[in-house]
Chains A and B, each alone.
Chain A
Amino acid sequence: MGAILVRRLGSAVPIMLIVSLITFGMIHLIPGDPAIAIAGLSATAEQIANIRHDLGLDQPVLTQLWRWYANLAQGDLGRSLLLGQPVTHVMLLRLPVTLALSAYALAMTLAIGLTSGIVAALRQNTWIDQAMMVFAMLGISLPNFYLGLLMIILFAVDLGWLPTGGYVALANDPLGWLATSTMPAISLALLLAGLLARITRSTMLEVLRQDYIRTARAKGLSNARVVLKHALANALIPITTVVGIIVSLLISGSVVTETLFSIPGIGQLLTQAVLNRDYPMVQGGLLITTALLVLVNILVDVCYALLDPRVRYDGV
Chain B
Amino acid sequence: MRRLMMTVLTGVGLAATMAPLAAYAAPFKCPATGGDLVFGQEANINTLDQMTSSTISTRNIAMNIYEALMTRDENNHPILDLAASMTESPDHLTYTFKLRPNIHFHNGKAMTSADVVASFDRYNKVGNQRSTLDNVKSWDAPDPMTFVLHMKVAQPTFIEALSSFSVPIVIIPAEDRDVPAQQLTHPVGTGPFQLVESVPGSFVKLKRYDGYQPNTSFENRTGFGGYKVACLDTVTFRIVTEPGARVAGLKTGELQGVEDLPTKSLPELKKDTNVTILPLNNWWIQIANPNTSFPPTDNPLVRKAIQAALDMDEIMDAASDGNYKLNVGFQYPNQPDYTDAGKETYNLHNADLAKKYLAEAGYKGEPVILLTNKDYPPMYNSALVMQQQLQAVGINAQMKVVDWPTSVQMMLNTTEGWNFHFTGWGTQPALGALATMQFMVQPNATYKPKGGVDDPEVLAAWRGMNDLPTAEGRQASYAKMQQLVLDKVYAIPFGSFTKVQGVRSNVGGFVPFRIPRFANVWMTH
Binding site for B on A (CB under 8 A): 30-34, 36-51, 54-55, 79, 81-85, 90, 93-94, 149, 152-153, 156-157, 160, 163-167, 259-264, 268-269, 272, 275-277
Contact = CB atoms under 8 A, between A and B. Distances in A.
A261 B49 CA distance: 27
Given A51-B128, A82-B46, A84-B47, A166 B52 contact: no
B256 interface: no
A40 B54 contact: yes
Contact of A84 (B49, B127, B284): B49
Contacts of A48: 408, 412
B128 A262 contact: no
A276 B405 contact: yes
B245 A152 contact: yes
Contact of A47 (B128, B200, B248, B375): B128
A31 B443 contact: no
13 contacts: A33-B409, A38-B52, A39-B55, A41-B376, A48-B412, A51-B52, A51-B128, A82-B46, A90-B200, A157-B248, A164-B255, A167-B202, A262-B242
Contacts, number: 168
Contact of B252 (A32, A36, A42, A156): A156
B404 interface: yes
Nearest to B57: A40
B203 interface: yes
B202 A262 contact: yes
Given A31-B406, A36-B409, A83 B438 contact: no
Contacts of A54: 52, 126, 180-182
A45 B409 contact: no
Contacts of A83: 46-47, 182, 185, 200
Interface string B271-312: 000000000000010000000000000000000000000000
The listed residue with most B CB atoms (<10 A of its CB), out of A43, A49, A163, is A43
A50 B239 CA distance: 28
Contacts of B53: 38, 40
Contact of B408 (A36, A85, A165): A36
Interface of B: 44, 46-47, 49, 52-56, 58, 126-131, 167, 180-185, 199-203, 238-242, 244-245, 248-249, 251-252, 254-255, 284, 375-376, 402-406, 408-410, 412, 423-428, 438-439, 443-444
Contact of B444 (A33, A46, A264): A46
* Closest A-B pairs by Cβ, 8 of them: A32-B405, A264-B202, A40-B55, A82-B46, A44-B444, A54-B181, A84-B182, A264-B201
B183 A79 contact: yes
A263 B203 CA distance: 10
Given A50-B130, A269-B201, A45 B425 contact: no
Contacts of B199: 93, 264
B443 A38 contact: no
Contacts of A272: 44, 201
Given A37-B46, A166-B238, 18 more contacts: A36-B409, A40-B58, A40-B427, A46-B443, A47-B54, A50-B127, A50-B129, A54-B180, A84-B184, A152-B244, A157-B251, A163-B254, A164-B255, A165-B254, A262-B241, A262-B242, A262-B245, A269-B200
B402 to A, nearest CB: 7
A166 B239 CA distance: 8
B64 to A, nearest CB: 18
A277 B203 CA distance: 22
A56 to B, nearest CB: 10
